[in-house]
Chains A and B, each alone.
Chain A
Amino acid sequence: MTKKKYLKGLAYVLGTRERRYRSIEGISDILRANQLPLLPDLLGLGSFFVTEDPFEEATAAVGRTLVTAGLAPNSIEHVIVCSSDSTDRFSERNRKSASLLHKWQIAPIVTRGVTGTGCVNLISAIDLASAAVDLGNAKNVLVIAVEGAVFSDAGRVLNYALLSDAAVSFVVSDAGSSSDPNLFEILATRVESCMSEVGRGMSITKTSPDREFVKRTLEVAGSTMDRVSKVFGNNIFLPMKTGREGLIGFNRSQMYLENVSRTGHCLGCDSVINLLDHGVSEPGAEHVLYAEAEGHFGCVVLKQCQPMSAC
């Protein structure tokens, strides 16, 4: 039997320097090479954020998580760190993780890394954390996404997004009671890989299995597409984002589009950043976190809780 699980202490920190898309030398040439027009409003081109070391942002985010979740450091039994890309070797990465945890006096029994599925890594981490709670191996799992300091300016301009740096942290917990206004019950998680797509790059016009994948996850959650208040997905260029989320079956009013131009694509961090920026919904509101990356798909169904009480 699965236990009730909650998402609490959600926090994010964007890269320390905000820059505008026009500051990238030759961006119009890069877009042209990808057969995209330099039409900022229609693509959703705006700001992006840069850091020298995203572990600095991650350290700040974790501090906020502990405070907003009202958790003592010694209540964290497991830690999962995920990144889409990293230039660090294992030893350097390990040192940085240790430094972060030491800063906040967190001494987990288990630490894990999640990688290999790009922007889906964070949702994969939620899935993994939920399993740890279900199995009774942990009551509180700290999840940290660390994205950034990997790309050159030109490397940030993809044919579907403008990359940005950020870090996100939160706790997957078996305890719903919290003063945190951003407390959510995790109704379902799902991660899948479609091997006919994996390794073939981003497929913008593919229609399946996206629609059925999200529907299956909603069914497990006891919900439907119509009941979803908002879907929080990747902050890719607007036409691609509305196209993909529309093909899945979401209507325009369900999509959260504001951060495409405000933050750019912070890889795995996008869905949680968008969820937080959307603000607190009515208790009982159902949301979907969604991510996809070159053949990998991830979905989490959440229900907004009232603070200071279990759902």
Chain B
Amino acid sequence: MRAADSENDFDLRRLVEFINEQKYLPPTDLAALKAADRTNDVGITSLGAIGLVVAYLKRCGLDDASFNPDWLPDLEFLDGVLRVFKEIDRRAEATRV
């Protein structure tokens, strides 16, 4: 279980919303994500995590060329997914500047 703080809660809420928008993933909630460390703990497989990131890239207006292979090991953990999402946010912001 990860330590709670307001910024982390905000990120987790965003992640919950985004996961629940993906109809190919099992629905989840904030409590479940807070209690979990690995994406598998909330029913998301490694392939599902890849799909989640791919979908987030598309949401942010980026294409598949932005998929960084170094992300793969991170996707096993929820904190890793959050880090990847933040990096995607930064890249998307950079393209808008």
Contacts and interface: CB of A to CB of B under 8 A. Distances in A.
B24 A32 contact: yes
Interface string A82-109: 0000000000000000000000000000
A229 interface: no
A31 interface: yes
Interface in B37-56: 44-48, 50-51, 53-55
Interface string A248-260: 0000100000000
A37 B71 CA distance: 18
A195 interface: no
Contact of B72 (A41, A44, A205, A238): A205
Contact of A35 (B44, B57, B63, B67): B44
A52 B77 CA distance: 44
Interface string B13-46: 0000000001111000000000000000000111
Interface size grouping (class) on chain A? 20 to 34
B94 to A, nearest CB: 18
Interface string B63-95: 111011111110110000000000000000000
Given A204-B72, A205-B73, A240 B50 contact: yes
Nearest to A252: B65
Given A36-B24, A205-B76, A246-B69, A238 B48 contact: no
Contact of B47 (A41, A159, A245): A159
A36 B69 contact: no
B48 A239 contact: no
B2 interface: no
11 contacts: A35-B51, A36-B51, A37-B22, A41-B63, A204-B72, A205-B72, A239-B54, A239-B67, A240-B47, A242-B64, A243-B69
Interface of B: 22-25, 44-48, 50-51, 53-55, 57-58, 63-65, 67-73, 75-76
